Amino acid sequence: MIVWLALLAHAGTWEQVEALRDDAAMVGATVTERAHLQAFLTRVVGYAGTGRVPSDFDERCDELKLVCQRGVRVVTLHGAVNSGLGLVAVRLGRDVPPLALVAPHGWFDLNTGRIVCDWFDQGYARVLIINTAHRFGGTEGERRRDADVAHRVDTAFQSMTIGATDGMSDALVVEVHGFSKRHGEFSAVISDGETLQPDVMVDRVSSAVVAVLGGEVRKGTEVPLLAATRNAQGRAVSGQSRFIHLELSRDSRATLREDDAAATALIERIVDVAESR
């Protein structure tokens, strides 16, 4: 255990997530577990702007059975290996964009986990929330519908998302997904789900994607299957945070992984949106 924790402490965020992956893990959590986790994340993120964590941080981590690691600028919280809990990383300090990056299908939606982890590690977001269990319980055998945290409200992942955004002022939550060519030959589908926010949010992110990746961008209303109208996180933060459901084609995801300049250009434009009021 000690060696495992030491290795995680020195790994990049994506390497930490990969080390925690367990396709057999259950993602559900009890009402009490979710309530305590949500309240704790709200406090941790609320303190982040001061560059500190709450004074009872270590004690609460122990009580909640979380593995918590404190770096100079980043704290990470996750369950023990094989827990399926998910991972949250919080950047400490002032002048951090009010942006939460979320990836519920980090492996199944190829490269989405790596993309958001890279953006977080480069300092572009206050919070990162990412799954540690495969969307359908792995790549072999029958698909498990109970493992998809984007469509379940009774998970630690959901409580992490709500808690983290509760701790931020006017957060922009960008949840990154991927789609296949069977949905269409376009670069991205961008939606606000059911958050009912002004269309200017979707328009600005759409413009950013077109400027960086080219191709055609569709709105969720044009591609209903990718419109996030049943997305659990989007529904949960509606009314308290801004929300963008960013569906990227396989080619777009490959570009963002292989072209550092393109990845930087897109996240910097998203940060501009996050910092606009």
Write the DSSP string, 59-80: HHHHHTT-EEEE-SSEEEEEPS
Residue 200's pLDDT is 85
Q: Is the pLDDT of residue 10 over 70?
A: no
Residue 187's pLDDT is 96
Residue 137's pLDDT is 67
Give the Cα separation of 254 and 232 in Å (integer).
27
Q: Is the pLDDT of residue 112 over 90?
A: yes
Residue 196's pLDDT is 64
Any residues with CB less than 8 A from the CB of 169 and at least 6 apart, and which?
98
In contact, 180 and 225? CB cutoff 8 Å: no
DSSP one-letter code for 153: S
Q: What is the pLDDT of residues 207-257, one digit of tens each?
A: 999 999 999 999 888 887 887 778 889 888 887 889 999 999 999 999 999
Residue 274's pLDDT is 95
Kindly state the average pLDDT of the residues 162-166. Answer: 95
Q: Is the pLDDT of residue 6 over 60?
A: no
Kindly state the average pLDDT of the residues 5-34. Answer: 80
Residue 165's pLDDT is 94
Place of tokens 């480069």: 122
In contact, 233 and 222? CB cutoff 8 Å: no
Beginning with the edge strand found earlier in the chain, give each strand of the sheet holding 172-179 in spatial order: 67-70, 74-78, 87-91, 127-130, 99-103, 172-179, 242-249, 188-191, 217-219
CA neighbours within 13 Å on the CB side: how many for 54? Answer: 16
If you average pLDDT over every residue of the chain, what do you get? 89
Which domains occur in the chain, in start order?
Answer: 2-275 (3.40.630)
CA-closest candidate to residue 172, choices 205, 209, 210: 205
Residue 4's pLDDT is 42
Give the Cα separation of 131 and 134 in Å (integer).
8
Strands 217-219 and 188-191 come out as: parallel
Higher pLDDT, 240 or 153: 153
Higher pLDDT, 116 or 136: 116
Q: Which helix (H) or strand (E) holds 90?
A: strand 87-91
CA dihedral 71, 77, 83, 84 (to 10 degrees): -110
pTM for this one? 0.92
Q: Is the pLDDT of residue 148 over 60?
A: yes
Q: What is the pLDDT of residues 26-82, one digit of tens each?
A: 788 899 999 999 999 999 999 999 999 999 999 999 999 999 999 999 999 998 766
Kindly state the average pLDDT of the residues 82-102. Answer: 92
